[in-house]
Chain A
Amino acid sequence: MRFEGTDSFVATEDLKVAVNAAVALERPLLIKGEPGTGKTVLAQEIAKALHKPLISWHVKSTTKAQQGLYEYDAVSRLRDSQLGDARVHDIANYIIRGKLWDAFAADSAPVLLIDEIDKADIEFPNDLLLELDRMEFFVYETRQTVKAKQRPIIVITSNNEKELPDAFLRRCFFHYIKFPDRETMQRIVDVHYPGISRLLLSEALTSFFELRELPGLKKRPSTSEFLDWLKLLLAEEIGPELLRERSAAKLIPPLHGALLKNEQDVHLFERIAFMARRG
């Protein structure tokens, strides 16, 4: 059972090695990288490639580690007790399973995605250390220990907004998705838009990488933005000639709003374009 990428996801060699190591040794895989390089998509693709169900846990700033295990719904138990519901005598009726419990209880080991772990409180990863290490936890209300039937494949993504604790990092494999080079990008586009004209793609790639390498950009456009831009180009039926024209006289690529999301960046770009036209 090896991960080799899928027909809708281009995996580089180093990514494959990291994924396979994490799968084989049953350790969580921590994924970082520029926004829009496919961190979240990776978990979906691993699930698809290995034919496993995917359980996603999207972390927010208010998410608590406990919510991933289970929650005790005291309020509905209180209400039921006042209505005289028979359910009230069994506390297990009010234990709500979290994503981690779901993953542990699944019959075939699923892929568990813990998305954007850095969004939560600084202590969040520490609170999950034992659970991810031993793959078991204890439910106080019902005095039961939940143990994983099979160790799920855990993929964790982070955008680096907070530093993760060392103890947590030591237990993971780590992969940094670097921005794809031109060749990889071409393969990625081929996967998404199989029939795209070679000429258009080549011109678009040139424009895109030139734009990215422009020093002083506040936010550099990412893979997903490039794909959106290509989609727009296709929809508007803009030909490669128009893109090439840019290098001669008009420097701003058409529909640049899909690539530049920052006012200052657009401004900087326009000024450079203006100077080039004069030169």
Chain B
Amino acid sequence: MFLAFFLALRAAGVKASLREFLTLQEAMLQGLAGFDVEHFYYLARAALVKDERFLDKFDAVFAEHFKGVLQPRPEAPDEVAPIELPRDWLEKLAERLLSDEEKAQIEALGGFEKLMETLRQRLEAQQGRHQGGNKWIGTAGTSPFGAHGYNPEGVRIGQQGSRHKSAVKVWDKREFRNLAGDAELGTRNMKIALRRLRRFAREGAAEELDLAGTIRSTARNAGYLDLQMVPERHNAVKLLLLLDIGGSMDEHVHLCEQLFTAASSEFKHLKHLYFHNCPYEMLWKDARMRAADAIPTLDVLHTYDHTWKLVFVGDAAMSPYELISPGGAVSSWNQETGKTWLTRILHAYPKAVWINPVPENLWQHTQTTRLIAELMERRMYGLTLEGLDQAMRSLMQ
């Protein structure tokens, strides 16, 4: 019963096990779903999906598998114009758009700032035309971005009103879309992801009472108290963080800041250095990259041994010359190519990953991103919860 549905779920990446499938069968036999397809949907969801990130996938598979029940609802026309344009709001709005695959086309428009400006202008124009709108956060129609052919369906903010409820099947509403995967990345979430990278060890001065040891040696000592001390347990992982700064990284600066905040409170041994686009013979201790703060890369390689784990944070997007030809660097004259330096660094640190804040589906569009991913032996991960998680696993292997 519903075996094909179960297999389709697994094919779609919902990790439902045989045991859970049997649970569903058991529940069906007990008549828990009744003869209502909606109840069956709820029951199957409760039995097969154990993580809210998969709820949306489940809905999609369910809709696909049991389609013919109802056609999906066409997008409701958006009618209300937005009026205010605070930066946070705009950024959020733009983020939602830009994370889509259209991002590649942004380059043509002149980058993020330019796009924000365009968006601002469009929205202002929109305000003039829809003076009567009384909702201060509206839903932008197709017009703001229709002109650029970005999003033919328009920007949809917030949720649809419940007035549409009766027309749509529950699973077609795809209410859990927001929960899918890697939407919200806060410092706290990152910390949890980084926590995978823990290797506890007792090192240093003995300053904690070893209770078990004390009891053992007291017993051996015929009941005379014999205190035993041990060093405090802490995370012994050593992390070298190399951050790309400036240029195309500007738009990711907020995300990288959060990552840095999370990392600096998670690791006791953390060293961070900066580079621009690609690491060459110099690295910087400060994000302003003044000459006084520069240290030779070779010194770094000699100071921190191979037990340090290396994490690059950067978009890996640059002109190919910066990577493969001598003297291609934008900031200074480099004797050796970026590729040589990268290989040298990777040779020094066998445990290394590259974390890329650019959405993963866009990597293939940039030549240098592909090249660097190859150099990293595919150990390039997105700056998402999932990506961080995979990166940390890779470092722990």
Contacts and interface: CB of A to CB of B under 8 A. Distances in A.
Interface in A1-50: 13-14, 17-18, 20-22, 24-25, 27, 30, 32
A14 B89 contact: no
B88 to A, nearest CB: 4
A173 B47 contact: yes
A213 B83 contact: no
B89 A13 contact: no
Nearest to A172: B50
A13 B38 contact: yes
A69 interface: no
A130 B51 CA distance: 22
9 contacts: A20-B32, A161-B188, A169-B50, A170-B19, A175-B46, A247-B136, A268-B88, A268-B89, A275-B85
Contact of A166 (B15, B85, B170): B15
B374 to A, nearest CB: 31
B286 interface: no
B27 A25 contact: yes
User: Which of A17, A20, A170, A174 lies at the interface centre, i.e. has the most chain B CB atoms within 10 A of its CB?
Assistant: A17
B42 A17 contact: yes
A25 B92 contact: no
Interface string B16-30: 010110010011001
Contacts of B45: 14, 174
A279 B127 contact: yes
Q: Is the interface of B mostly helix, strand, loop or mixed?
A: helix
B176 A176 contact: yes
Given A32-B52, A166-B15, A275 B46 contact: no
Contacts of B26: 25
Interface in B71-86: 83-86
Given A176-B55, A210-B135, A213-B157, A272 B89 contact: yes
Interface in A216-264: 216, 247, 251
A276 interface: yes
A172 B46 CA distance: 9
Given A17-B39, A275-B84, A276-B83, A173 B89 contact: no
A166 B15 CA distance: 9
B158 interface: yes
A21 B27 contact: yes
Contacts of A181: 159, 162, 165
Nearest to B86: A271
Interface in B226-242: none
B93 interface: yes
Interface in B187-226: 188, 192
Given A24-B27, A272-B86, A170 B47 contact: no
A215 interface: yes
Contacts of A162: 192
A75 to B, nearest CB: 12
Interface residues of A, number: 42
A275 B43 contact: no
4 tightest A-B CB contacts, nearest first? A213-B158, A169-B50, A17-B42, A215-B92
A183 B162 CA distance: 8
B138 to A, nearest CB: 10
A10 B20 CA distance: 28
A182 interface: yes
A95 B51 CA distance: 37
A196 interface: no
B136 A251 contact: yes
Contacts of B83: 275-276, 279
A51 interface: no
B251 interface: no
A17 B38 CA distance: 10
A261 B92 CA distance: 20
Contacts of B176: 176, 178
A214 interface: yes
Contacts of A171: 19
A178 B88 contact: no
Nearest to B19: A170
Contacts of B88: 215-216, 268
Contacts of B319: none
Contacts of B99: none
Nearest to A269: B86
A18 B42 contact: yes
A279 B123 CA distance: 13
Contacts of B110: none
Interface in B111-150: 127, 134-137
A170 B50 contact: yes
Contacts of B32: 17, 20-21, 24-25
Interface string A154-172: 0000001110101001111
A214 B136 CA distance: 10
Contacts of A25: 23, 26-27, 30, 32
